[in-house]
Chain A
Amino acid sequence: MTVAGDPPVEQEPTIRYEDINVPVSAPCAHFDSYDRLREQAPAHFGTALGHEFWLLTRMEDIRAAFQDAATFSSSAVTPYEPDPPYKWIPEMLDPPLHTKWRHLLGPFFAPGAVKRLRPRVEARFEEIMDEIVDRGSCDYVADVALRFPNTIFMELMGLPVSDADRFQRWETAILHAGTSDRDAAYQAMGEVNAYFAELIAERRKSPREDIVSVASTWKIDGEPVTEEDLHALCLLLFMAGLDTVAQQLSYSMYHLANHAEDRRRLVEDPGLFEPAIEEFLRYYAFVSPGRKVTRDVEVAGCPIKAGQMVWLPIASANRDPEEFPDADKVIIDRRDNRHLAFGGGPHRCLGSHLARQELLVGLTGWHRRIPDYRLDPDVPVSEHGGQVGLSNLPLVWEPRA
């Protein structure tokens, strides 16, 4: 019983971030855990390494949070780091400054620019296929997924492709350790910064047409962008561009390796690849951004206090049966698929058009040359935590004579 003058009732945490964002026993079982949380409640109060956060589960509330940048600020995007020692640009900026950076970056990633890249994207994928098609087996993650979007991205940025392996190691340290090795993550961020410092200096001396060269000429509100901001931009583009498409390709291929009927339909009618890609984006959405709340706000009847973090698992929004009939099924020709795999609101993924093109080229290109394949039954598939993804995907097939 509360009496006037008593302090307000404290919210009791019922979940821990560390327990949710971890590798799981069976690949993709991680996604099902959100269904249970959503059925229980639209919002769960918990702690992430001791910091208070709210996990939102419904599409309606997650979409609204993405769209309301004033209340749900991107100044912190990781629930266990409400006061981060780093700032990824433009991911961790809010409008109006965020808007200015997006306006500068936009031309590189606009649909027209992406279309112009298509021949290069196709050529790169065929190179990769040429190397593996006669082998009869591969680890799709290492041999295809990690080698395809990465080189395209590195060329776009102006990074030497010969450094791809170093970048992949840094990427893994920053994004795949989760809460368990933050020191390694910070060290890797430092190493990436040092690398970019050198590259930026080189490009200032001899500029090319890539993003690194052009970005060092940018002005915001009449002032040249600072060296620090350029590093923060390069770090963010590097993290956003290297892992995500590779992971999405891997989950898509994992699905198709396990679902022969879907594979057969796609091979028979390649026009189905486009809706199938949207469905894989919906179902295997592995990005879970956080936001920092700037004012007391009520979401689905739950009192969220200024300064608390919210966690917005996109997979939970994308599997909400209020939004999608048969939300828990993969339906490769699903219509009306307005999923949030690329987020929403001002921070909608800048790379979404490039990502979609790479997914289309990668999946159609593979199936044109290797239409029939399966999981290698002798090699277990494992998944990593942090930003969840497959660590490997062993595939076998009969090489064509």
Chain B
Amino acid sequence: MKIVIDKDRCRGHARCNALAPELFDLDDLGYAAAGELEVPEGGERAALAGVRGCPERAITTV
């Protein structure tokens, strides 16, 4: 499973990081650090929590 974060839509709510800190890293200002990440085995549930937690709907799974 791959996660794609639309960095233009990211507004630094940081909910993804709050819900799944092991997956979603933030930069110094609290915005998504990466635009794409590979979800490790067993991390799907946390990944989906992050996806569904974004108020901007900036995160999708591929």
Contacts and interface: CB of A to CB of B under 8 A. Distances in A.
> A and B: partners?
yes
Interface of A: 63, 67, 103, 106-107, 110-112, 274, 335-340, 342, 344-346, 348, 352-353
A150 B14 CA distance: 24
A300 B62 CA distance: 30
Contact of B29 (A110, A274, A336, A340): A110
Nearest to B26: A111
B28 A340 contact: no
A348 B49 contact: no
Given A112-B28, A339-B55, A345-B11, 6 more contacts: A67-B9, A103-B29, A107-B29, A111-B17, A338-B15, A342-B13
Contact of B52 (A103, A336, A348): A336
Contacts of A67: 9, 56
Interface of B: 9, 11-15, 17-18, 26, 28-30, 49, 52-57
B30 to A, nearest CB: 5
19 contacts: A63-B55, A63-B57, A103-B29, A106-B29, A106-B30, A107-B29, A112-B30, A335-B52, A336-B52, A338-B52, A338-B53, A338-B54, A338-B55, A338-B57, A339-B55, A342-B55, A344-B55, A344-B56, A348-B13
Given A338-B15, A348-B11, A353 B30 contact: yes
Contacts of B30: 106, 110-112, 353
A63 B57 CA distance: 10
A302 B19 CA distance: 37
A29 B25 CA distance: 40
A64 B50 CA distance: 20
A110 B15 contact: no
Shortest 3 CB-CB contacts between residues of A and residues of B:
A348-B11, A336-B52, A106-B29
B55 A336 contact: no
A67 B57 CA distance: 11
Nearest to A317: B55
A110 B12 CA distance: 9
Contact of A107 (B15, B17, B28): B28
Contact of B28 (A110, A335, A337, A345): A110
Contacts of B55: 63, 338-340, 342, 344
B53 A336 contact: yes
Contacts of B9: 67
Contacts of A335: 49, 52
A345 B14 CA distance: 13
A63 B54 CA distance: 12
A103 B31 CA distance: 12
- Residue of B13, B18, B55 with highest tally of chain A CB at under 10 A: B55
Contact of A352 (B13, B28, B54): B13
Contacts of A342: 13, 55
A316 to B, nearest CB: 15
Contacts of A112: 28, 30
A115 to B, nearest CB: 11
Contacts of A103: 29
Contacts of B49: 335-336
Contacts of B13: 342, 348, 352
Contacts of A340: 55
B60 to A, nearest CB: 14
A338 B52 CA distance: 7
Nearest to B15: A338
A186 B13 CA distance: 32
Contacts of A353: 14, 30
Contacts of B26: 111
A132 to B, nearest CB: 30
Given A346-B11, A348-B11, A352-B13, A337 B53 contact: yes
A297 to B, nearest CB: 20
A346 B11 CA distance: 6
